[in-house]
Amino acid sequence: MNKLIYCLIILSMAGMLNAQKYPIPTLDWDALSETKPWEKTEDWSVIPKKVTPGDHTHMPSSDAIILFDGSNLDQWQKPTYGIPADYAGTKATVMNATYEKHAGSPPEWIIKDGVIEVKPGGGNLQTKQSFGDVQLHIEWLSPVDKEKKGQMYSNSGVFFMGIYELQVLNSYENETYSNGQAGAVYKQSPPLVNASRPPGQWQAYDIIFNAPKFDTEGNCIQKARITAFHNGILIQNNYELDGPTFYIGEAEYFAHEAKMPLLLQDHGDKVKFRNIWIREL
Ligand code: MG
């Protein structure tokens, strides 16, 4: 297993040791590296067709909540917990976060020249505000680094409600499993086409996310849905998620709050972000 992923997961798990009320099961990574259960949910059977995007800019509407305009990280915090690998850890983490009312500390990511850059090992970035159904605009850039490849080349992610990921990755001439490339609903739905620009160029996501709904017994009565545009091109068309997006294991729902924070992922790569705004639907 890649060393960096391993370190990040260990760091995430270490952060979760703070959790008292809902103990998060510990995974035996040495044993798991023998069977590699994460490979079971990687889809290598399709290769989304390449499409060249047109140029465009996308500025916020008058009713948008500005999450980042280049000046400060006032809307953001560092969450108390990391991103777990599987269903059990994710469920416990969400329950702990809910219990702690989505507590956090000042973000560690840095702003340089009006742009946010991931601080590797600095933890994820989470909005202070919670959201349900939203329209999100976010721009990102994968720095050029010819030494990197696959899932390790500019990996980050936009996590709606902290647990439903639309993947951020350099997917311009960079092979990986299709449901893990840029614009994929991670491990669930590959993008309809590959609209990636080369590393070093800014790219945009415009995403509509509809939160799942649960009945009083905790059953999912309406699945989460994602429609997404990558550089103006449709890549997810009202896709119905099977549950939160996991590194290991099949997706499965568990009941959670109607609104939870948006999260950006620290996967150890210095991905840059700018012009982030959101509209509640
Ligand atoms: Mg990611």
**Same structural domain for residues 11 and 96?**
no
Does residue 23 sit within a domain?
A: yes
What does the pLDDT read at residue 7? 47
Do 37 and 110 reside in the same domain of the chain?
Answer: no
Residue 57 lies in a domain: no
C-alpha 167 – ligand 1 centre gap (Å): 5
140 inside domain: yes
Question: DSSP labels for 61-123?
Answer: PTT-EEEESSS--TTEEEESS---SSHHHHHHHHHHHHHTTS-EE----EEETTEEE--TTS-
| Alpha carbon of 2 to ligand 1 centroid (Å) | 15
Of 49-58, 207-216, 248-257, the one with minimum mean pLDDT is: 49-58
* DSSP notation for 168-200: E---SS----GGGSTT-BTTTB--SEE-PPPTT
In the structure encoding, which two tokens stand for residue 220, read together? Answer: 């999912």
Q: Do 37 and 83 share a domain, yes or no?
A: no
Q: What is the mean pLDDT of residues 258-280?
A: 98
Residue in 181, 138, 165, 176 with CA at minimum distance from that of residue 266: 165
56 in a structural domain: no
Ligand 1 centre distance from Cα of residue 180 (Å)? 8
As given in the structure block, the two tokens for residue 271 are 């991905």
Pair 22, 94 in one domain: no
C-beta of residue 151 within 8 angstroms of C-beta of residue 268: no
Residues around the ion ligand 1 (C-beta < 5 A) = 155, 157, 265
**69 alpha-carbon distance from chain centroid:** 20
Q: What's the 62 CA to ligand 1 centre distance in angstroms?
A: 30
Tell me the pLDDT band of 3, cut-offs 50, 70 and 90: low
Same domain, 169 and 33: no
Which residues, 6 or more positions from 22, have their beta carbon under 8 angstroms from its beta carbon? 92, 95, 96, 99
In a domain, 53, yes or no: no
The reply to whether 32 and 96 lie within a common domain is no
Q: Could you tell me the pTM of the whole model?
A: 0.90
With a pLDDT cut of 70, the percent of the chain lying above it is 92
Same domain, yes or no, for 75 and 201?
Answer: yes
Are 22 and 87 contained in the same domain? no
Residues 108 and 246 in one domain: yes
Question: Average pLDDT of 107-130?
Answer: 97
Can you say whether the dihedral through the CA atoms of 173, 177, 180, 184 is positive or negative?
positive
Pairing of strands 164-168, 156-160: antiparallel
Distance 154 CA to ligand 1 centre (A): 9
Examine the domain organization and report whether 246 and 130 are in the same domain.
Answer: yes
Per-residue tokens: 135: 């329209």
Residue pLDDT, tens place only, 132-160: 999 999 999 999 999 999 999 999 999 99
Cα(267) to centroid of ligand 1, in Å?
7
In a domain, 55, yes or no: no
Q: Quote the ligand 1 centre to 217 CA distance (angstroms).
A: 31
CA distance 222 to 115: 36
Find the 252 Cα to ligand 1 centroid distance in Å. 19
Q: How close is the Cα of 279 to the center of ligand 1, in Å?
A: 23
**Is the domain of 130 the same as that of 217?**
yes
- 242 part of a folded domain: yes
- Establish if 46 belongs to a structural domain: no
pLDDT surpasses 50 at 1? no
5 pLDDT tier (thresholds 50, 70, 90): low
Task: With a cut of 90, say whether residue 37 has pLDDT above it.
Answer: yes
Å from CA of 99 to ligand 1 middle:
25
Task: Please report where in the chains the tokens 């590699």 appear, as a residue.
Answer: 36
> How far away, in angstroms, is 18 Cα from ligand 1 center?
24
Q: How far is the CA of 155 from the centre of ligand 1 (A)?
A: 5
Separation of CA 12 and ligand 1 centre (Å): 14
Task: Give the whole-angstrom CA distance, residue 265 versus residue 248.
Answer: 17
Residue 143 exposed, middle or buried by CB count within 10 Å (0-12, 13-18, 19+): middle
Sign of the dihedral defined by the CA atoms of residues 139, 234, 130, 19, in that order: negative
Residue 80 is part of a domain; what is its CATH number?
A: 2.60.120.560
Burial of 255 (0-12, 13-18, 19+ CB in 10 A): middle
Same domain, 30 and 154: no
Q: How far does the centroid of ligand 1 lie from the alpha carbon of residue 164, in Å?
A: 11
Instruction: Please give the residue range of the domain that contains residue 37.
Output: 3-41
Q: What is the pLDDT of residues 121-131, one digit of tens each?
A: 999 999 999 99
Q: Please tell me which residue, 274 or 57, carries the higher pLDDT value.
A: 274
Ligand 1 center–CA 158 separation, angstroms? 8
| Count: domains in the chain | 2
Helices 87-99 and 3-16 pack at an angle, to 10 degrees, of 40
